[in-house]
A and B are shown apart, each in its own frame.
Chain A
Amino acid sequence: MIVITFWVFVLAISILLYVLLDGFDLGVGILFGLTRAEGDRRAMMSAIAPVWDGNETWLVVAGVVLWGAFPVVYATLLSAFYLPLLVMLAGLILRGVAFEFRARAERTRWIWDAAFSGGSLAATFIQGMTVGALVDGLPLVNGRYAGGDFGWLSPFAVLCGVGLCLGYSLLGACWLVRKCEGDVRDTAYRQIPSLSVALLVFLVIVFVYALGKNLPVMGRWLERPYLLVFPVIGIAAAIKLAHSVRRRQDGVPFHMVAIIFIAAYGTLAISFWPYMIPFAITVYDAAAPHSSLAFMFWGEGLFVFPLLLIYTAINLSVFRGKVDSTSQHY
């Protein structure tokens, strides 16, 4: 039992870190598509170049932990989202190689620009859409997916895809405010208010929809009103965000948006706990046998996972502060 909780915790941390870290660099990729000036584009790429692929490793960590520790969920979700995941992987690969090849291209630079922003947008949309499809309820029969190639598609799922694009763009804009100077920073400051308002409206819609659609979720919030602390923290962070943007405190907005994300993540998790696939498969149904979880714990859980956390912290702190826009490769 404890070991199941441990792996739920590892998985939750891995997914949260992925969302926050790759979230901002995917967001920068989306905003990249909205700019035209070459200097700004270089500055935007430089702001995420040193960290993006360390960020992306958390996706693979989450993927393999899901498979090893919760094989049923891995098998069900990945096969159900066959085509969306294909688009996400292609998007992530194209975005990744764009980092390496863009600087060397002159005539073909537009291809890499399109790959970079298009790949970021596609990967983000798919991630939001899958979460939306899960909240909406996948068509399952006896715990098996039974929806065909497009069974995950619903207006709500699409709405969540759009919502995550807004969310990641907001994270990205705050990251740019933190890392850049000049035009890039000013543009990002102009984008933050509208992105934040759009994101908050979206989150409220999702929360109300989830409450209305699923009575068990509603019951949980009514029974334990103290859980409302998560949405409340989110609102407080939004207020602080507005202040810091007005006062141009470059370092603050990113942390506030990260708190909003954590609050939304916590709200989502509490609403559906202990279900991993809402109202069909719980963490206890999905957990691998004790012998597997214990074997994973004594090696990768106890040693390698903390090492990865430390490394992530070091990598981010090494590249803290503003990037110098005059001496960049990008």
Chain B
Amino acid sequence: MDLTALLLSRLQFAFTISFHIIFPSFSIGLAVWLAFLESLYVATGRPAYRQVFEFWLKIFGVAFGLGVVSGIVMAFQFGTNWSEFSRLSGSINGVLLSYEAFVAFALEASFFGVLLFGRSRVPAWFYLFSSWMVALGTSLSAFWIMVNNSWMQVPVGYVVENGVFVPNDWAAIIFSPVVWVRFPHMLLASFLTGAFCVAATGAWYLLRGEFAAEARIMLRMGLFLAAVLVPIQIFFGHLTGDYVHDDQPAKFAAIEGRWHDEQPAGEVLIAIPDPATGSNSYEVKIPVLGSLIGSMSFTSKEVGLVDFPPRDRPPVFIPFFTFRIMVGCGLAMLLLAWYGSYLSVKERIGDTRWMLWAIFLGFPLPWIAILTGWYTAEVGRQPWAVYGLLRTADAMTPFLTARAVTTSLVVFCAVYSFIFAFGVIYIYRLLQEGPSGDLALPPVAATPNRPMSVVKASLEPKARHASPGE
């Protein structure tokens, strides 16, 4: 087997899935926010809610479209680069991901089309219903992905027959306790992404002195939602840590930067781990806190990395730092959300420009937290693809050559950067244009399957205006 091909395949997977997760993590939260806005509009009849809804619906369309395009590659990549994984665990992971795809398409096929083009064609209650079905659908999509990944983290409900993983208890797979802490953790992360983006957009408009009414709605709703959700998210983050502690002790030790068994264990706040010597440099450590976090006890013994044979140890550097970056982002979001909400309640946020700047510039925080959180989970699972059952090295397509993977990695990087650049320009122009547009009827030639065509129709007049040479 080609070790360079293995490294490149892992890089390619990391690149394509990191690129992909940016869009769903945004659109899942946004879908719920849209449903909530539509409910408020139906309940109060305030046109500002409708303005904000129509505005974010367009942005949702672009994010959704880019998520679908980048998701198609994922559906093929398991087979091309990880054929042994596909063959051995296809009867579990393939089935779960097929549910994800079917749910996503059934949703795209019906209710999303209604949201984009059906306002004038269906009764108001059905439109509202559709907005909640889209929210339910995107969340269900996330659910199947989390069931799939949780099975790879902590496999349950299977037997091994002829080396192949055969499911014998689907209830155990779907209702695994690991799923039910990680799925909420991911869902809350998506909600927070939506909340912070909405709040940041509101802050941006206030700083520019535009769309004051809509901007206030965005800022308030985003901040209040985040103020409630961040503490809940931290709680679910702790529960996620508990499953890692119990089921993946080597990953837990790597995250904690703990090389040797300790009783009671300290908590390393920051350090530079050195795998060569099996120790940390520049360590800042709080005594006993490690036992408290790991086992809710002042005396428990916590496991160190050297207890595991070197071939079963995960890399330390990446999980150790990505975990700390994730937690740091979480705490920064907590500060922004709470202090921002406090200022909002006091009606002072509009005048506190530094805070508006902080909220505006804080919009990447949830994305950074999601990406680093996933790096912690996935790199920390190494050297396993399916924890304890199938090594990543054995999961790869056995005959894959470094030449082939180099080619694909270069092509994916080129194509994705290209699409990403255009997608970002699209969303930026939409944001710049703001929620001021008239509530026009949807374009005739656009269809439910082509969310981006709405964007184009709405941007065209502006584009012509910008370049009179056309």
Contacts and interface: CB of A to CB of B under 8 A. Distances in A.
Interface in B30-89: 65, 69, 72-73, 75-76, 78-81, 83-84, 86-87, 89
A59 B103 CA distance: 15
Interface in B450-470: 450, 452-453, 456-457, 459-460, 463, 467, 470
Contacts of A149: 401, 403-404
Q: Majority SS of interface residues in chain B?
A: helix
A53 B108 CA distance: 11
Contacts of B398: 144
30 contacts: A49-B445, A49-B447, A54-B109, A57-B105, A60-B105, A61-B105, A67-B94, A67-B97, A69-B98, A74-B94, A75-B79, A75-B83, A78-B79, A79-B83, A79-B397, A82-B397, A86-B80, A86-B407, A93-B69, A97-B419, A100-B452, A100-B453, A144-B398, A145-B399, A288-B90, A289-B166, A291-B166, A319-B447, A327-B444, A329-B443
B124 interface: no
Interface string B89-130: 111101101111111011011100000000000000000000
B331 interface: no
A244 interface: no
Please name the 8 residue pairs, one residue from A and one from B, whose CB atoms are nearest each other, closest first: A71-B90, A78-B79, A67-B94, A79-B83, A68-B98, A75-B87, A64-B98, A68-B94
A287 to B, nearest CB: 9
A214 to B, nearest CB: 25
Interface in A91-120: 92-94, 96-97, 99-101, 103-104, 106
Contacts of B445: 46, 49-50, 327-329
A217 interface: no
Contact of B101 (A51, A61, A72, A93): A61
Nearest to B110: A311
A65 interface: yes
Given A288-B94, A292-B92, A305 B404 contact: no
A228 interface: no
Nearest to A328: B445
Residue of B75, B87, B95, B470 contacting most chain A CB atoms (<10 Å): B95
Interface residues of B, number: 67
Contacts of B170: 291, 295
A311 B80 CA distance: 30
Contacts of A50: 445, 447, 449-450
A283 to B, nearest CB: 15
Interface in B363-406: 397-401, 403-404
Given A104-B463, A291-B170, A311-B110, A93 B419 contact: yes
Interface string A142-167: 00111011000000000000000000
B193 to A, nearest CB: 24
Contact of A79 (B80, B443, B470): B80
B407 to A, nearest CB: 7
Interface in A287-315: 288-289, 291-292, 295-296, 299-300, 304-305, 307-308, 311, 315
